[in-house]
Amino acid sequence: MTILKATHLTKRFKRGDKSFEAVSNVSLDVKKGEVVSIIGRSGCGKTTLLNLLAGLINPDSGQVELDQMAIHSMPDDELTTIRNRKIGFVPQGKSLLGSLSVLDNVRLPLFLAKNGQDSRQRALDLLRALGIGELADSQPASLSGGELRRAALARALIASPLLVIADEPTSEMDGGSAESFLNLVKLFNDQGMTFIMATHDMKAAEISGRVLKMDLGVLE
């Protein structure tokens, strides 16, 4: 069953007075239960593509269907609801809210879905599985880059989304952290969760059923 279907996606950006295609005519079909990695050098368009697939930015042309719903043409409020319910997103870089503890950051998606009652234990379990259980009550500002990425993964997983989209999730992680991260991906994938990752990490590519290469906005 297809969970995510992108058809002829193109996104242009301006550089100086010229425009270029950061994502150029990309089509992609991801089935339930797949782990798909997108690799390619910095600047080739991976982040732009993931943002398009998650409905965070709009394409100049092309379509994105998530769980058979056309999200590229959806009104913002409707899209936000669908995205919260169906996608766990791990952005590139720092993404935790500085005003909340690590634990509350991880619980946030369930809180927003008004389903926060049992979230404390589940959040703690996820943080422990990622080797950062002892940081639950810390403030994000005191965490290292790798610890922040792991907390962001816990936040992406907590509402059991249909699809997790992760942008270079193991960057800034040491070998052990990356391993606990990838083990958790495997565990959730065994239960049927679908993953799309942009990565430079060969270990991440190894656990993927499919590795796609991107170059100058084009997906091979």
The residue ranges that bind ligand ADP (CB under 6 A) are 13, 22, 40, 42-48
Per CB under 5 A, the list member of 24, 37, 47, 177 interacting with Mg ion is 47
Q: Report, in Å, the least distance between residue 197 CB and ligand ADP.
A: 12
- Both tokens of 45, joined, read 């368009």
Task: Find the shortest distance in angstroms from Cβ 167 to ligand ADP.
Answer: 7
Tokens encoding 72 = 């590229």
- Rg of the Cα trace of the chain? 17
Structure tokens, 178 = 């990356």
Looking at beta carbons, which residue is closest to Mg ion?
A: 47
Helix (H) or strand (E) holding 49: helix 46-53
Q: Among Mg ion, ligand ADP, none, what binds residue 48 when CB lies within 5 to 8 Å by partner kind?
A: ligand ADP
Q: Which stretch binds Mg ion (CB under 5 A): 31-39, 45-53, 63-71, 132-140?
A: 45-53
User: Which distant-in-sequence residues (6+ apart) come within 8 Å of 217 by Cβ?
Assistant: 20, 21, 22, 23, 24, 26, 44, 45, 48
Nearer to ligand ADP, 119 or 208 (CB): 208
Binding site for Mg ion (CB under 5 A): 46-47
